[in-house]
């Protein structure tokens, strides 16, 4: 079956450390993968997009990798801050360049001082 898996358990880390979140997918061949942040009671907010021919993408303290062989994307937040506490969602196009965007269930990140 097709699925996108993100750790359902919350990730708790100390301020200043690097947070690493995982997104694994099965039986999809996406052309790209996106990451979003969602705060409680709010809509998701776009963070980064990485295409299949890109190994790594950076934006300020954020870094995303995309390994189409492992069918996995890693999302890193360096020098994490309590303000980074939120749920992070990965999303992909379920078949090459379709107009649909399918989301994982998200991982809740808690950064404590």
Partner 1 sequence: NAGVTQTPKFQVLKTGQSMTLQCAQDMNHEYMSWYRQDPGMGLRLIHYSVGAGITDQGEVPNGYNVSRSTTEDFPLRLLSAAPSQTSVYFCASSYGDRVATGELFFGEGSRLTVL
Name the site residues for partner 1 (rule: CB under 8 A). Answer: 4, 8, 31-32, 34, 36, 41-46, 49, 89, 91, 93, 97, 99-106
**Smaller CB distance to partner 1: residue 44 or 111?**
44
Residues 6+ positions from 85 with CB-CB distance below 8 Å: 109, 110, 111
Q: How far is the CB of 113 from partner 1 (least distance, A)?
A: 28
Q: Hey, what's the torsion of the CAs at 33, 65, 49, 39, to 10 degrees?
A: 90
Q: Evaluate whether 22 touches 90 at the Cβ level (below 8 Å).
A: no
Q: How far is the CB of 64 from partner 1 (least distance, A)?
A: 13
Q: How far is the CB of 98 from partner 1 (least distance, A)?
A: 8
**Smaller CB distance to partner 1: residue 18 or 26?**
26
Residues 6+ positions from 66 with CB-CB distance below 8 Å: 33, 50, 51, 52, 54, 55, 56, 57, 72, 73
Sequence length of the chain is 113
Q: How far is the CB of 17 from partner 1 (least distance, A)?
A: 26
**Smaller CB distance to partner 1: residue 81 or 98?**
98
**Smaller CB distance to partner 1: residue 21 or 104?**
104
């Amino acid at each position: 079956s097709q699925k996108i898996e993100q750790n359902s358990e919350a990730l708790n880390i100390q301020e200043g450390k690097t947070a690493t979140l995982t997104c694994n997918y099965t039986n999809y061949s996406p052309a790209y993968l996106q990451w979003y942040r969602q705060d409680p009671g709010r809509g998701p907010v776009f963070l980064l997009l990485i295409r299949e021919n890109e190994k790594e993408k950076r934006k300020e303290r954020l870094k995303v990798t995309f390994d189409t062989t492992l069918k996995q994307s890693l999302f890193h937040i360096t020098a994490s801050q309590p303000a980074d506490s939120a749920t992070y969602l990965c999303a992909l196009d379920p078949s090459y360049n379709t107009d649909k965007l399918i989301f994982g269930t998200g991982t809740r990140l808690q950064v404590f001082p």
